[in-house]
Amino acid sequence: MRFLDEDEELNPIVSAVNLVDVFLVIIAALLIALAQNPLNVFNDDDVTVVKNAGKPNMEVIVKKGKEIKQYKSTGDIGSGEGMRAGVAYKMADGSFVYVPENDDAKDTDTSAISAVAGN
């Protein structure tokens, strides 16, 4: 019964148990931080994150459901792929009217726009 008479301060296993407790607290804090991340895969919310807004290396990360898409800026302002599809006009009441362009007729008749808008 010599082991029962030992002093607990001299036992090295007691300090190891304290280290395990410290690591458990650190792991719990990391798990909480991971759960609070807006791009968490287990979160059902739709999230849009903009990194480096307004800078040439800007990134936009969009999460819808479990699908995550990442868009990177090329740094060019007002450039991209595509072609002009039509013209949008703002009416007096604040509404917008979109008029698609035809390849045959490049001129747009504004009276036709007023008729479409109901003015």
Calculate Rg over the CA atoms of the chain.
32
CA gap 20, 15 in Å, rounded: 9
Which alpha helices (DSSP H) does the chain contain, by range?
12-35, 110-117
Backbone torsion region of residue 76, taken as left when φ is above 0, otherwise alpha when ψ lies between -120 and 50, otherwise beta: beta
At 24, the pLDDT band (50, 70, 90 cuts) reads: very high
pTM metric for this prediction = 0.37
Tens-place pLDDT, residues 34-79: 888 777 766 667 888 889 888 888 899 998 877 889 988 776 666 6
Tens-place pLDDT, residues 95-104: 999 999 876 5
DSSP string covering 26-50:
HHHHHHHHHHT-TT-TT--S-EEEE
What is the phi/psi pair of residue 75, to 5°?
Answer: 90, -10
Backbone torsion region of residue 96, taken as left when φ is above 0, otherwise alpha when ψ lies between -120 and 50, otherwise beta: beta
What's the start-to-end Cα distance of the chain, in Å? 103
